[in-house]
Each structure stands twice: as structure tokens, then as C-alpha cells.
Homo-oligomer: A and B are copies of this chain.
Amino acid sequence: MIKIGVIGVGYWGPNLIRNFFENCDFDMFICADVKQKRLELIKNKYPGLEVTKDYKKILNNPQIHAVAICTPVYSHYEIAKDALKAGKHVLIEKPMTSTSAQSIELVELAEKSNLTLMVDHTFIYTGAVQLIKQIVKGGEIGDLYYFDSVRINLGLFQHDINVIWDLAPHDISIMDHVINKPPEAVVATGVDHIGNGLEDVAYLTIYYPDNVIAHIHANWLSPVKIRQTLIAGKKKMVVWDDNQSTEKIKIYDTGIVVNKTDTEIYDTLIQYRTGDMYAPKVPNKEALADEVSHFAACIKNNEKPITDGTAGLNVVKILEASEKSIKARGKEIKL
């Protein structure tokens, strides 16, 4: 059994605690938070769990093998560095760190120490994303044309990060996992309507090689909740509507046919075809349970997680570039 501690038990931490409890590979026995009230809430639910206000107490405990870090983003780097230095395997909430330099440092540190460093990109472990990955990787949709994701709803405003850092890590991690190529550049636009310097509406374009383009619309000020991703290829196109409880993923046998004529480009004939639509059954499971199992397996077998530190770094790089671009009104930031 892997003895694990959870650092930070605000919004997401309790979900991890529950999953560690339910997973037979883990022995969940301690958690830390700076807020006494949160510790009391946890203690109420899990009377047997040890709690502490000082996370270092966890790191100093030689019996602990691993920690999960669910604190605010700005503190990820320092706690994770401390944990790796203390010889603990680390699962870290997304986004991994506040800067790509910090992410690089953590990746190197984990590498050097031969420790598992995993980022909690939960969506990668959902049935929906696994199905999409398989469809794209297997070539069913043909050469990729674009990836377009809309993640908008009302609130929850964050105090320290803008809407891209808050919502887009989901889309970016999925995009990175599905496209699986290094992006070239980022162009971001957005506006802060409150006046605190944090954009609440933002648009993010990511350029990939081979004319592949990705776009993310992240928005805290939408009256309706939309979770829709379009992934189009030359042969087929996918619509993923994560708000639906059934028929989440629809695959359209739809595409274009280009007939180049001899004479000149002006004569290029572009026809589109529409065909059947197919909605494969998406396995209904808790992604976090799978993720936690994967974390255990990686620790035990000394393997790289699917969402390893490099995956975390890829997301942070794009977030960082988007911040530069958005402040410079859409300036292209090369990656």
C-alpha cells in the first residue's frame, strides 16, 4: 500500500481523498491545510484521518510515499519541490505551476530523483477523451483540420488567475493529448470587465504545424453553460458535448472533396459531403478513480504517467504564452 498525504483540502482535495480511500493501492492517512475550518470538515467526514496545518509535517514523515497537492496554483511549485526533495512521489493539481520555468525545474527534479511526477489533468481519464483520442489516433477522422473548444458559464471568479488559467487548462490538456504535436504559436485576446486585471472573457488561438489550428473560448460571464468541442478531420468530424448525459460524442461522416483542375487554382472545386452520424456509447465511470489507479501503477512500476510532468509543462507553456499575448492584444507568441 502506498501511504499518501493530501496537501490542500479546499474544493478539489476532498475528491482526491475520497478516491484514495476507495482505492485499495493507497493508504490515505493524513492531510494538510492552512485553514482550520477545512480540516474540521474533513475530520468530520473521515474521523480516522490525521490532519495538520503544516504540510511539512507530511513531507518529514518517512513513512509517507506520495503526496497530492491541491493548493492554489501559486504555491504548487514550492510545495512540489519540497515534496520531491523529501523523496515523495507527487500528484499535482492543474495547472502544474505558475511559470514554465518552474515546471521545467520540477520535471528535472523528478527525473533526477527517479520519482513519479503526475499532473491531475482529470479529463484525460474520462471515457469521452479516451474515445476521442482513439478516434483521432486511429486515423478514423483523417488528417486533422482543427480543434475548437468552448467552455463558458457564469462564475466562479478567481482572485488570483484569469479565466484562461482557470478554465482553459482542461481544454489545453485535452488538445495537447489529442493532437500530440508541439504547437508553434499562441494568439490570445480577452478583456477584464471588473477592473482587477484578470480577464473574464478570453479567446485563445493555438497554431500547429500542417495548418492545424486550435481555438478555445473561455468565459466566466456567460448566461448559459456550454461545454462543446469540435474536432474536424479531412474524413470525419467529431462533436463532443460534455453537457449531455447520453450521446456525448457524435461522429459525423462528413467532409470535403477537393478536385484540383489543371488550369488554375481559381478553378479548384470544393465539394462537401454529408453522411451518417454515429454516437458510440461512452463508458460512464469516474475519471478520478482511473487517474488514481494510474498514479499507483506508475509508482509501483516506475513508469511515466500519461499526464506526466511534461504534459503539465506543455499546458503551462501555452497558458504563459496566452498571458503575454492577451496583454499585448493578440501579439503572436512563439512557443
Contacts and interface: CB of A to CB of B under 8 A. Distances in A.
B272 A155 contact: yes
A112 B262 CA distance: 47
Interface string A118-160: 0000000000000000000000000001101000101111011
- Each complex incorporates copies of this chain amounting to 4
Contact of A270 (B157, B222, B330): B157
A213 B239 contact: no
A7 interface: no
A162 interface: no
A286 interface: no
Interface residues of A, number: 69
A222 B230 contact: yes
Given A157-B270, A223-B254, A201 B217 contact: no
A205 interface: yes
A221 B146 contact: yes
Interface string A207-233: 100011101010101111100001010
A204 to B, nearest CB: 9
Interface stretch (A24-32, A277-285, A310-318): A277-285
Interface string A317-335: 0000000010011111000
A196 interface: yes
Contact of A230 (B157, B192, B195, B223): B223
A154 B236 CA distance: 12
A11 interface: no
A281 B252 CA distance: 10
A248 to B, nearest CB: 11
Given A196-B265, A201-B145, A281 B272 contact: no
A62 interface: no
Contacts of A207: 189, 191, 329
Contacts of A280: 276
Contact of A213 (B154, B190, B252, B268): B190
Given A145-B221, A222-B237, A211 B191 contact: yes
A225 B244 CA distance: 12
B213 A189 contact: yes
A187 interface: yes
B223 A154 contact: no
Given A222-B230, A252-B223, A279-B279, A272 B154 contact: yes
Given A217-B148, A258-B194, A329-B187, A278 B281 contact: no
B189 A205 contact: yes
A330 B224 CA distance: 28
A85 interface: no
A193 interface: yes
Interface of A: 145-146, 148, 152, 154-157, 159-160, 185, 187, 189-197, 201, 203, 205, 207, 211-213, 215, 217, 219, 221-225, 230, 232, 234, 237-239, 246-247, 250, 252, 254, 256, 258, 265-266, 268, 270-272, 274-281, 325, 328-332
Given A330-B332, A331-B332, 5 more contacts: A157-B270, A159-B268, A189-B215, A193-B234, A223-B232
Ordered nearest first, which 3 A-B pairs have the shortest CB separation? A187-B330, A223-B252, A223-B237
